[in-house]
Amino acid sequence: MSIKNAAEKLICQQAMTKEDFIELLGYFGNSDIMALLKEEALKLRRKYYGNKVFTRGLIEFTNYCKNNCYYCGIRAGNQNARRYRLAPEEILECCQEGHHLGFRTFVLQGGEDPFYTDEKIAAIIREIKYHYPDCAVTLSIGEKPRESYRLFREAGADRYLLRHETADEAHYRQLHPDSMSLSTRRQCLWDLKDLGYQVGAGMMVGSPGQSDQTLAEDLLLLQELEPQMVGIGPFIPHHDTRFAKEPAGSVELTLYLLSVVRILLPAVLLPSTTALGTLDPLGREKGLAAGANVVMPNLSPLRNRKQYELYDNKICTGEEAAECRGCLEQRVRNAGFELVSERGDAPFLPKKLNPMYKENR
């Protein structure tokens, strides 16, 4: 194929520049190019994962957070948030139920809560690994020193989700207080990768101040880091934040970006997020149809679900874990895929910037 535009360049797996990504984002709304990219995304998704959709049991174990990300409902400065944390035994009970339901990955997610010292986290990981050696443990507990990441890895953690949120310096400053920095976030991602984690980066779509320029920076970061997982969901305002009156991100643009990221990183583990399902009743099905291959139902105790309120109207806060899994199983089937009980690791692939990459794809 002779390369005519940035969409074709992406499909041909050529290294993309910032200008290429900006051009690609300019095609949002062009139905021919959007259809072409969606078709390619589904082809690649099928090539690497067939009909399978992997599932992760999400355990939101603390909503205490020392940070003050301006968009987030559980940021430290939100006096109205009702705080909770699960005891280690409660986390293990969630895993027990999850394992019984067929989950083979547990995601421990929380705010940055100093109560959970590194030793406490490591002990929880060891316990989970001892009782469920067939399961993967994913952490999503924010920025830590490299030595903490090393300790968790040695305790048995397999994966780490740390969305970079935005790779544009000025945009990062609009979303975070001065105590936080994009360079620290980046360093954490590279440390995690270096320590052998399967790493997840990602961004909200439509966060206040986002533009094609900042999204192009996000895509460049993903191209450079080559994470095994990418979390992309729409921004949704929370009533107790400075962004309460901002519009939510676009479902359509999120779907477009899911297809783009599937082509950029063909074997990536790509969740169809709860935020997508919050903005559109069929959002998660549409995410799967755009190239996503992971869903993350909630395993947190029902009594705490509403308290982990990152944004307004979050769905799945009133269902038991079994109901949540059953509902998603049906949704996955409706979208033409099959929910499986596997760890669902990313396959090993040569790196994109390696000259052998294209031959091996």
Binding flag, residue 236, ligand SAM (CB under 6 A): yes
> Among 60, 247, 35, which residue's Cα sits nearest to residue 139?
60
Nearer to ligand SAM, 140 or 210 (CB): 140
Give the separation between CA 166 and CA 163, rounded to whole angstroms: 8
Q: Does 71 bind ligand SAM (CB under 6 A)?
A: yes
- Collect all residues with Cβ–Cβ distance below 8 Å to 247 and sequence separation of at least 6: 206, 237
Q: Which stretch binds ligand SAM (CB under 6 A): 33-41, 232-240, 314-322, 345-353?
A: 232-240
Burial of 151 (0-12, 13-18, 19+ CB in 10 A): middle
Among 310, 315, 324, 328, binds ligand SAM (CB under 6 A): 310
β-pair partners for 59: 108
142 touches ligand SAM (CB under 6 A): yes
Query: Per rule CB under 6 A, is residue 111 in the interface with ligand SAM?
Result: yes
Instruction: For residue 15, count other CB atoms closer than 10 A to its CB.
Output: 11
CB of residue 234 to ligand SAM, shortest distance in Å: 7
Phi-psi region of 263 (alpha: psi -120 to 50; beta: other; left: phi over 0): alpha
Closer residue to ligand SAM in complex, CB, 204/225:
204
Among 10, 25, 192, 204, binds ligand SAM (CB under 6 A): 204
Q: Which of residues 161-200 bind ligand SAM (CB under 6 A)?
A: 162-163, 165
Nearer to ligand SAM, 275 or 288 (CB): 275
Residues 160, 102, 288, 238, CA torsion sign: negative
| Number of residues binding to ligand SAM, judged by CB under 6 A | 20
Nearer to ligand SAM by C-beta: 109 or 228?
109
- Strand order in 294-295's β-sheet? 294-295, 52-55, 338-340
State the residues that interact with ligand SAM by CB under 6 A: 71-72, 74, 109, 111-112, 140-142, 162-163, 165, 204, 233, 235-236, 238, 275, 310-311
